[in-house]
């Protein structure tokens, strides 16, 4: 499947709380393929959530394995359906960007260690612990499912938001 168009802020779908997935069927399988293809086509993308391509369902994908920040500490490609972060520990501020907000980056405080429960594309339940950059990426993508953007979590709009010099 080809990569899908990313919705840009302030598109209303990006602010919606997404519906849970109940049908693990061919439509979900196609959505997951589209999310993976879209993530891989994006510049330096390590994740994408269904609402970013206009689908208000609780589905996202994360893969930090090709990133210099995540290559040594990751679970590979994570397909997360109905994810729920059940534990957050530690805190650190990192610079985040988003394909839905291509002109800006921002300093966001996130948990450094998380536990997340989710289903895969077949409906099987999983629970993993993630840390570092992978934990940040998972939190970023699950925020999308709750209608939140990194802009909503910037530490300071005055000093924590930056115009991107070059999007690559």
Q: Which of 44, 55, 59 is nearest to 4 (CA)?
A: 55
- Give the CA count within 13 Å in the CB-facing half-sphere of 24: 11
Q: What is the mean pLDDT of residues 63-68?
A: 96
Share of residues in the chain with pLDDT > 70 (%): 98
141 assigned to active site: yes
- 52-65 pLDDT per residue, tens: 999 999 999 999 99
What is the rounded CA–CA span in Å between residue 35 and residue 38?
Answer: 5
Average pLDDT over residues 98-121: 97
Residue 78 pLDDT > 90, yes or no? Answer: yes
Residue 158 CA to residue 104 CA, distance in Å, equals 13
| Phi and psi angles of residue 62, each rounded to the nearest 5 degrees, phi first | -140, 135
Q: So what's the pLDDT on residue 25?
A: 98
Q: What is the pLDDT of residues 111-128, one digit of tens each?
A: 999 999 999 999 999 999
Whether 168 has a pLDDT exceeding 70, the answer reads no
Q: What is the mean pLDDT of the chain?
A: 96
Tell me, rounded to whole angstroms, the distance of Cα 19 from its chain centroid.
16
Give pLDDT, residue 113. 98
Please state the domain extents for the chain.
Answer: 12-163
Q: Active-site residue among 16, 29, 134, 141? A: 141
**CB of 51 closer than 8 Å to CB of 7:** yes
Q: What is the mean pLDDT of residues 123-152?
A: 98
Instruction: Look at residue 1 in the predicted model and tell me its pLDDT.
Output: 63
Beta strands in 15-159 (DSSP E): 47-49, 59-62, 78-89, 92-98, 101-110, 113-119, 125-131
Helix (H) or strand (E) segment spanning residue 139:
helix 132-145
**Contact present, 82 and 58 (Cβ < 8 Å):** yes
Q: What is the CATH number of domain 12-163?
A: 3.90.45.10
* Residue 21, pLDDT above cutoff 80: yes
Q: What is the mean pLDDT of residues 99-111?
A: 96
The predicted structure's pLDDT at residue 131: 98
């Amino acid at each position: 499947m080809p990569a899908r168009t990313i919705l840009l802020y302030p598109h209303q779908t990006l602010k919606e709380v997404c519906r849970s997935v109940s049908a693990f069927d061919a439509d979900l399988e196609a959505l997951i393929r589209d999310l993976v293809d879209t993530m891989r086509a994006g510049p330096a993308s390590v994740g994408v959530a269904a609402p970013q391509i206009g689908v208000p369902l609780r589905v996202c994908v994360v893969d930090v394995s090709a990133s210099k920040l995540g290559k040594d500490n990751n679970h590979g490609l994570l397909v997360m359906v109905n994810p729920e972060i059940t534990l957050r520990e530690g805190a650190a501020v990192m610079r985040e960007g988003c394909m839905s907000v291509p002109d800006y980056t921002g300093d966001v405080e996130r948990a450094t260690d998380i536990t997340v429960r989710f289903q895969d594309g077949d409906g099987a339940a999983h629970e993993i612990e993630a840390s570092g950059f992978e934990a940040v990426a998972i939190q970023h993508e699950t925020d999308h499912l709750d209608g939140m953007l990194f802009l909503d979590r910037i530490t300071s709009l005055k000093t924590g938001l930056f115009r991107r010099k070059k999007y690559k």
